[in-house]
A and B are shown apart, each in its own frame.
Chain A
């Protein structure tokens, strides 16, 4: 299959390319970029006039709910949601049932994803058996099976001794540990501690739940040399600690989710359970700090934190509702909205969902590391073609994901995906 994407605005944040031209694909790879020879004979020509041709998006925080929670989202529907959102690579969390702590489970998941022929799937393995925080998993075997790092998902590892050893062991082999900084004792509330939680009588997670966890992680990183990716920061104070750790040269990266980038605690309004997410939504000054840190690169990547939740688990009093929101189909638009709102250069906006997350995964991507999240001649043809100007209304029933709950219901957002190509084949094409 040879495809020619003609006359689009080619944006590659990694190289700084931003010009109008063509992109030629053959055998799953980009074979021509910019000026494509007239001799290139395409089986299919896509007219991208007025559209942006960018690398496919790379989402570092997705829950596919498989195995175990098939009623809340199945691999098939969620992978379809991914490509509909322009996402061509995604990292999934190990908190499935059973937990991804056995190589066989990882191989099965990778196999099922490959057969769907949609986005590339990169699982995180569990850092400890069954995420219990007691026994290390077989990290080398899990890596051979396809895991690109190790994580405790939402389960805080309270035992500092186990965390220390896990990081020592991971550092031995150069594996990256993905941790959401949240103290296991202080971090159990349902909203961010503050005036709103106090007024509404909701149990609050204090900022120190994040900063204490970060301080512990940074000390352990100093001691072990382990590479750590910090998942979904929520507070201005936490970001400040990350900024200092990076300045010191610690091998850490971090991300933030679309929820924290756009929302704050007062958006909970009258106990709207769609706003029940983890980490909880914090205050205006935290959101301001998050937006500035994502623009200046202190925060490396923007993630969807896609978590499909069934209606039965959501239609409950706020504190009883299961946390999580659908996000794969909103990632691009909410990145663009942030970019427009804050006048962030388009290259940086797109970098937060393409090249930057690829750099977070790093060498674990293997041969793809050189070209995923980028437009490179000879590289893998993961491409997202979108109309940057088209506005659309977020309507849950129209989403492909089985997760229909989103805090952004009713938002009008910019950017509509027209084509998503994964390894050169069209995995999604907008209707009409």
Chain B
């Protein structure tokens, strides 16, 4: 039987896995962001390493392909002096019919200390966390539509870096929210950190009304959605949305919800523009905005390494 307790916290309320931002208390989030701040300087040193995870083995288990996220986790683990093993399971054992838990059991027998898991199904990292040895830590690197907590945290780091105080902000998340694990993690984090207005912006097929129950204001009109916003988070539009009868075409989507300089002018003058990447120029974002002065898309990537270092070092220091 699965534990009724939040499986990512131990009995003392300390983080042992990072599975979702939902349910994490505000001090835990701030602790991660503060820790990330201390690692940022490591990335600027000539020798970009600290010995916190020396002798530990971090397994990157990517059941779904993602070179970019896997690379950032690999860099973060290596800067913590861990040994990193990359397993592209989408092309190996799963293709041979091995079950998820058998794969985990086998890798545990190789004395893994941490699994970084990306999986196409919501909740898969929970299953892994509940079936691996007690000393093994699990980091969710994106599961289905459910959560992408390190992306959420690096987004929070970025917002805190540029805006300092969360409690006076209006944040607009624009695009395919219903299929987005990034949006869910951002919404939970923003809510926990006290952001008073979070807007979910997009057509009804991608931003259904019941998102309101997550504590966001649903806007179907782009102009209304980004008006006076301090932060605009643009989401990547997947091509499947067109074949799934959710949108007629990328061009029509861009016309209504693409972020152009004209639309950006409706936001606060000092608004920042974020995107989890990789961006689709001309689909959800105009190149002039993506490369413009208000874009913080590249700082997000830099902060992402520090945030992932923070997460890995914190959970490795807590025992189940």
Query: CA of A317 to CA of B130 in the docked complex: distance in angstroms?
Result: 12
Nearest CB in chain B: distance from A398 CB, A: 14
CB-contact partner of B144 in A201, A274, A315, under 8 A: A201
Hey, which chain B residues are within 8 Å of A319, CB to CB? 121-123, 144
Are A269 and B2 CB-contacts (below 8 A) given A195-B213, A316-B99? yes
- Whether, in the assembled complex, B208 has its beta carbon less than 8 Å from a beta carbon of chain A, the answer is yes
In the complex, A320 has a CB within 8 A of chain B: yes
**List of B residues within 8 angstroms of A410 by Cβ:** 1
Q: List B contacts of A200 (CB < 8 A).
A: 122-123, 146
Contact A201 B2 (CB under 8 A): no
What 1/0 flags go to A184-220 for Cβ under 8 Å of B?
0000000001110011111000000000000000000
Which B120-154 residues have C-beta < 8 A from chain A?
121-124, 126-127, 130-131, 143-147
Query: What is the CB-to-nearest-CB distance from A235 to chain B, in angstroms, rounded to a whole number?
Result: 15
Taken together as a complex, chains A and B put the C-alpha atoms of A370 and B211 apart, in Å, by: 53
Q: Determine if B127 and A271 form an interchain contact, defined as CB atoms under 8 angstroms apart.
A: yes
Assess A271 versus B122: contact at CB under 8 Å? Given A193-B210, A200-B146.
yes
Alpha-carbon gap, A312 to B97, bound state (A): 12
Most chain A CB atoms below 10 A, which of B3, B101, B121: B121
Whole-angstrom distance between the Cβ of A167 and the nearest chain B Cβ = 30
A409 partner residues in chain B, CB cutoff 8 A: 1
Residues of B within 8 A of A317 (CB): 100, 119, 121-124, 127, 143-144
Bound-complex Cα distance A116 to B44 (A) = 76
Q: How far is the CA of A200 from the CA of B126 in the complex (A)?
A: 12
Tell me how far the C-beta of B189 lies from the nearest C-beta in chain A, rounded to whole angstroms: 14
Is B282's beta carbon under 8 Å from chain A? no
Cα separation A293 to B145 with both chains bound (whole Å):
35
In contact, A199 and B123 (Cβ under 8 angstroms): no
Q: Is A318 an interface residue (CB 8 A)?
A: yes
The answer for the CA separation of A320 and B178 in the assembled complex, in Å, is 20
Q: Inside 8 A of A194's CB, which chain B residues have their CB?
A: 210, 213
CB distance from A79 to the nearest CB of B (A): 27
Q: How far is the CB of B63 from chain A (nearest CB, A)?
A: 10
Distance, CA A318 to CA B6, complexed state (A):
17
A284 within 8 A of B: no
Inter-chain CA distance A320–B143, complex, in Å, is: 13
B22 on the A face (CB < 8 A) = yes
Structural contact, A198 and B210, CB atoms closer than 8 A: yes
Q: A270 at interface (Cβ–Cβ under 8 A)?
A: yes
Contact flags (1/0) for A313-331 with B, using CB distance below 8 Å? 0011111100000000000
CB contacts (< 8 Å) of A198 on chain B: these are 178, 208, 210-211, 213-214
CA A200 to CA B181, docked complex, whole Å: 9
How distant is B68 from chain A, measured CB to nearest CB, in Å?
Answer: 20
State whether the Cβ of A272 lies closer than 8 Å to any Cβ in chain B: yes
Whether B276 sits at the interface, judged by CB under 8 Å, is: no
Give Cα A358 to B130, complex, Å.
Answer: 44
B37 at the interface (CB under 8 A from A): no
- Chain B: CB-nearest residue to A315: B101
- B181 near A201 with CB under 8 A, answer yes
Distance A273 CA – B1 CA, assembled complex (angstroms)? 10
Nearest chain B residue, comparing its CB with the CB of A270: B126
User: B275 near A: Cβ within 8 Å?
Assistant: no
Given known contacts A201-B146, A315-B99, A315-B101, A271 and B123 CB-to-CB distance under 8 angstroms: yes
Give Cα distance in the complex from A202 to B122, angstroms.
7
Chain B, Cβ-Cβ closest to A318: B123
Chain B, Cβ-Cβ closest to A268:
B123
B148 vs chain A, min Cβ distance (A): 10
Q: Count chain B CB atoms within 10 A of each CB in A202, A317, A319 and give the residue with the most.
A: A317
CA distance A201 to B208 in the complex (A): 13
Are A312 and B99 touching (Cβ within 8 A)?
yes
B238 CB to nearest A CB, Å: 14
Inter-chain CA distance A193–B209, complex, in Å, is: 11
Assembled-state Cα–Cα distance A348/B210 (Å)? 37
Asked if B145 and A201 sit within 8 Å, CB to CB, the answer is yes
Measured CB to CB, the nearest residue on chain B to A194 is B210
Task: Name which residue of chain B comes closest to A190, CB basis.
Answer: B122
Given A193-B210, A195-B214, A200-B122, CB of A272 within 8 Å of CB of B2: yes
Note all chain B residues with C-beta closer than 8 A to A199: 22, 184, 213-214
In contact, B210 and A320 (Cβ under 8 angstroms): no
B45 at the interface (CB under 8 A from A): no
Identify which of residues 254-308 in chain B touch chain A, using a CB-to-CB cut-off of 8 Å: none
CB closest residue in chain A, given B127: A317
Q: How far is the CA of A145 from the CA of B189 in the complex (A)?
A: 61
Cβ–Cβ < 8 Å partners of B3 in chain A = 270
Question: CB distance B126 to A195 under 8 Å?
Answer: no
Q: What is the distance, in angstroms, from B205's C-beta to the closest C-beta of chain A?
A: 13
Bound-state Cα–Cα, A226 to B130, Å: 49
**In the complex, A297 Cα to B121 Cα: how many Å?**
40
| Complex CA–CA separation, A249 to B45 (angstroms) | 81
Known: A317-B124, A317-B127, A320-B121. A270 touches B2 (CB 8 A): yes
Distance (Å) between the CB of A183 and the closest chain B CB? 16
Report the minimum CB–CB distance from A112 to chain B (whole Å): 32
A320: which B residues are within 8 A, CB to CB? 121
On chain A, the residues within 8 Å of B11 by CB distance are none
Known: A195-B210, A320-B121. 18 other contacts (CB 8 A): A193-B210, A198-B178, A198-B208, A198-B210, A199-B184, A202-B122, A202-B146, A270-B2, A270-B123, A270-B126, A271-B122, A274-B1, A312-B99, A315-B99, A317-B100, A317-B143, A319-B122, A319-B144
User: Which A residues fall within an 8 A CB radius of B?
Assistant: 193-195, 198-202, 269-274, 312, 315-320, 409-410
Q: List 9 A-B contacts (CB under 8 A).
A: A195-B213, A199-B214, A201-B144, A201-B146, A202-B145, A316-B100, A317-B143, A318-B123, A410-B1
Which residues of B are in contact with A by a Cβ distance under 8 Å?
1-4, 6-7, 22, 99-101, 119, 121-124, 126-127, 130-131, 143-147, 178, 181, 184, 208, 210-211, 213-214
A-B residue pairs, 7 tightest by C-beta: A271-B123, A201-B145, A201-B146, A317-B121, A195-B213, A317-B124, A201-B122
